[in-house]
Amino acid sequence: MTSDEIMKKADEDLIAVYNRFPVVFSGGEGMYLFDNDGKRYLDFASGIGVNAFGYGDKEIAKELSMQLGTLVHVSNLYYTEPLSKAAEAVKEISGLDRVFFTNSGAEAVEGALKTAKRYYFNKTGKNDAKVIAMNSSFHGRTIGAVSVTGTDAYRSPFYPLMEGAVFADYNDLSSVEKLIDARTCAIIMETVQGEGGIHPATAEFIKGIRRLCDEHDILLVLDEIQCGMCRTGEFFAFQKYDVKPDILTSAKALGLGLPVGAFIVSERVAKNSLKPGDHGSTYGGNPLCTSAVSLSIRLMKERRVREHVKELTPYFEETLDRIVEGSDKVKERRGEGFMQGLLLDENVKARDIVSAALSKGLILLTAEGNVIRMLPPLIAEKEDFDRMNEILSSLL
């Protein structure tokens, strides 16, 4: 089929919830994707932060093919070695104690919310729990996840949502403190807001949140679905702040492109929350996806991905800072590690720039607030940042 035929057929057959760009991708290698007509695109989106190792990695293909030919699914009624190994690996990099594997990031958030509400119910015997979330946050598209997503456009068509969600301002500790009461069971936040415009937490804010949670026996839920798995130069962004969550959510780069997420909890939370029968997943933790989790973590260690991101981040930031200095259409750069954003002037639309960049062979993302979002594969080198700069600067 030609590209036009594929796009036309997909538009006829799929539910129209995505405004897809007019390109059909068919393959990739390293930092580049190839479309159906053979054109090459430098990827600074990595499937929205999923493809940490880029494309066409032969070691990944070989190991996952072996598992695919061995065992794909048996359900959580039984044990498998890939499940056990993946849980051990996730515990080791997170510093937390118990793991539940899901099929997606949104499901990880759902599990985190159920865990927090169950913890509160076990403690109080009441089912009136309240969750404090952040304005401009994004946690997923399911009803529970969208209930704690702090952008009204994602929420308003689907009321009534989960009861008890209230919203504070990110990086404003006093706005959080004002919302705490006896019903508050959890505070949920991204360590670096992604969809909301690339906003890292300040050290004062995240440490203050941890202190408030300790003082009031509230669970701190950190959503690192996008900013975790070495994207900021640590396995998880919270590790930069000398704090630890009670519940952590992960997905995206956790599974090398396979559909897998996880929520991870402390032993204290595990012992005082979910019981057998409270939660489950037919596909969650299947041998294929959990083998991808173990492989992702092993390769990040062996290939020194954290060190690579730390080493290249200054060059990435300097490159973007030059774009800011050289264009009156860009107001500022913000971000952490290989998770960066450029805030554009109101007279220029981020989606228009992203669309124009695509036509020039550069894949970018947008974020809330007229921001160009960049989530390159974690294998990016200086020449990739230079090429990105060349294309984007010419457009701006």
Q: Tell whether 81 and 193 lie within a shared domain.
A: yes
User: With contact defined as beta carbons under 8 Å apart, do 134 and 167 qualify?
Assistant: yes
> Half-sphere exposure (CA, 13 Å, Cβ side) for 287?
17
Instruction: Give dist(CA 61, CA 171) in Å, integer.
Output: 41
Q: Tell whether 108 and 190 lie within a shared domain.
A: yes
Q: Tell whether 255 and 122 lie within a shared domain.
A: yes
Cis peptide before 377 (omega within 30 of 0): no
Q: Tell whether 135 and 267 lie within a shared domain.
A: yes
Q: Tell whether 193 and 249 lie within a shared domain.
A: yes
Average pLDDT, the chain: 97
CATH number of the domain residue 252 falls in: 3.40.640.10
Of 268, 302, 336, the domain-final residue: 302
DSSP string, 43-57: ESSHHHHT-TT-B--
Asked whether residue 163 is domain-assigned, the answer is: yes
Alpha carbon dihedral 345, 348, 352, 357, in 10-degree steps, equals: -60
Q: Tell whether 51 and 133 lie within a shared domain.
A: no
Of 302, 331, 358, the domain-final residue: 302
Q: Environment class of residue 135 by beta-carbon count within 10 Å: exposed (0-12), middle (13-18) or buried (19+)?
A: middle
pTM as predicted: 0.97
Structural domain boundaries, residue 375: 3-57+304-395
Per-residue pLDDT, 258: 98
Asked whether residue 62 is domain-assigned, the answer is: no
CATH number of the domain residue 348 falls in: 3.90.1150.10
Per-residue pLDDT, 314: 98
**Per-residue pLDDT tens over the stretch 266-319:** 999 999 999 999 999 999 999 999 999 999 999 999 999 999 999 999 999 999
Provide the edge-to-edge strand list for the sheet that holds 165-168.
Answer: 98-102, 261-265, 247-250, 219-223, 184-190, 130-134, 165-168
Instruction: Give dist(CA 135, CA 231) in Å, integer.
Output: 23
Asked whether residue 270 is domain-assigned, the answer is: yes
Q: Tell whether 53 and 34 lie within a shared domain.
A: yes
Local confidence pLDDT in tens for the 396 residues of the chain: 999 999 999 999 999 999 999 999 999 999 999 999 999 999 999 999 999 999 999 999 999 999 999 999 999 999 999 999 999 999 999 999 999 999 999 999 999 999 999 999 999 999 999 999 999 999 999 999 999 999 999 999 999 999 999 999 999 999 999 999 999 999 999 999 999 999 999 999 999 999 999 999 999 999 999 999 999 999 999 999 999 999 999 999 999 999 999 999 999 999 999 999 999 999 999 999 999 999 999 999 999 999 999 999 999 999 999 999 999 999 999 999 999 999 999 999 999 999 999 999 999 999 999 999 999 999 999 999 999 999 999 999
Per-residue pLDDT, 195: 96
Instruction: Give dist(CA 290, CA 270) in Å, integer.
Output: 21
Q: Tell whether 253 and 315 lie within a shared domain.
A: no
Per-residue pLDDT, 191: 98
User: With contact defined as beta carbons under 8 Å apart, do 52 and 267 qualify?
Assistant: no
Of 259, 277, 302, the domain-final residue: 302
Asked whether residue 338 is domain-assigned, the answer is: yes
Asked whether residue 196 is domain-assigned, the answer is: yes
Q: Tell whether 201 and 294 lie within a shared domain.
A: yes
Q: Tell whether 257 and 309 lie within a shared domain.
A: no
The residue to which tokens 């799929």 are assigned: 14
